[in-house]
Amino acid sequence: MQELTGNYKRKDSNNTLCSTPTRISRFLGQLINTESGDTRVLELGGGAGSISQFLPSGTLVFEKLQARIERGKIVAPNAVWSPPTDCLTRRFMTDMARDGHFFSYDIVVSNPDFEVAMPFLYLGLQLLNFHNPQARLIFLLPSDFFEGSAARTRVYKILNLHVEMEYKLGHLGFYEHMRGMEKLSCDSLFVLRRGRKTKYEWKTINARLAGMLRVEGVERHRARKATSK
């Protein structure tokens, strides 16, 4: 799967620079509770650091383009930025296995380009800490990603992972120079864990309508849940 998509080339120019909106990046970062033992975090396709800046200090970030890495080091100086890396190559897989990265991360985060989202999910699964039952992937994907095509539905069925939670985000604008140009389709943050249980049943929260995308929204939501118990 990695090799089949290895020739994909991300477009990058000053006029069409894409990044995750700040409110979404902040919300994603709030989903990671470092007090619960989420100690090792890795980000695939870190771009220019829009998500990385809200991840725990020491997060290992992989990005393919040098220009984005240089910008990311300024935006997210507390992250550990790997040299330019194409994660969709056999060499990357070999190096990761040699250096002991596989099955060792508690959280793997990504807002992948749509064309490489499924290979990134597969790769993220190989990176999850095998000994931590709470280890999980947090991926920003189209809300209908797993049902949008027969091929993706079949791959999801085969992979040893399941969606635990979906946070609906609404229509997002990813172009930095015109955030108001929103996608026609909706996006979601998917929290996935290893295993095939409840593969087709998961909890969904409309994070936008619930006000969770505002500053400290996750903390308020957790407080409301704790009070209602």
State pLDDT tens for residues 193-212.
999 888 999 999 999 999 99
User: How is domain 3-228 classified at the architecture level of CATH?
Assistant: 3-Layer(aba) Sandwich (3.40)
Give dist(CA 60, CA 154) in Å, integer: 31
Global pTM value: 0.86
217: its two tokens: 């929204």
Give dist(CA 143, CA 141) in Å, integer: 6
Question: How does pLDDT run across 160-204, given as a tens digit for each residue?
Answer: 999 999 999 998 877 666 656 666 789 999 999 999 888 999 999
Stretch 83-88: mean pLDDT: 94
Q: List the domain boundaries for the chain.
A: 3-228
| pLDDT number for residue 154 | 94
Strands 187-194 and 107-110: unpaired
Give dist(CA 15, CA 228) in Å, integer: 48
Phi-psi group of 33: left, alpha or beta (phi > 0 → left; psi -120 to 50 → alpha; rest → beta)? beta
